[in-house]
Amino acid sequence: MIKKDAKINIQIGAGFIEKLNLIALNISKKITEEDIKRYQGLAASLKPNEMFEEDWMNDITTLSMLFANIQEEAEKQGFTYEKDFDEFTNELNKGVDSLLPQSPEQPE
């Protein structure tokens, strides 16, 4: 078990970060505009260390915190660059598609 107050320094490769981004993208595809508004309202009133009632909200919060920490460290270490959000999203979608099983080619 890991102590509750532990702060662990680890190295994370870009490939693993990409997989985390794919997880976040897959979760976000299942979330509606109404869900987002509800999440934002609940998040604003959530107390520290309090959990949401819905698992996906906790998942998004955890991933957001992880991404913020990764981004902060990447910036400190000079590993960041700017990229258009739509271009980034399109690349992630291609990544998701490449992970899906492909149907075999049918002979004509």
Residue 9 lies in a domain: no
Residue 8 lies in a domain: no
Residue 91 lies in a domain: no
Q: Which helix (H) or strand (E) holds 101?
A: none
Question: Taking a C-beta distance cutoff of 8 angstroms, is the pair 39, 60 a contact?
Answer: yes
pLDDT digits (tens, 9 = 90+) for 75-95: 999 998 888 888 887 877 776
Range(s) of the domain holding residue 43: 22-78
36 or 104, which is more confident: 36
Residue 87 lies in a domain: no
Residue 107 lies in a domain: no
How confident is the prediction for the chain on average, in pLDDT? 84
pTM for the whole structure: 0.69
- Say whether pLDDT at 107 is over 60: no
Q: What share of the chain is helix, strand, coil (3-state, %, to 5)?
A: 60, 0, 40
Residue 42 lies in a domain: yes
Residue 52 lies in a domain: yes
The number of folded domains in the chain is: 1
Question: Taking a C-beta distance cutoff of 8 angstroms, is the pair 80, 71 a contact?
Answer: yes
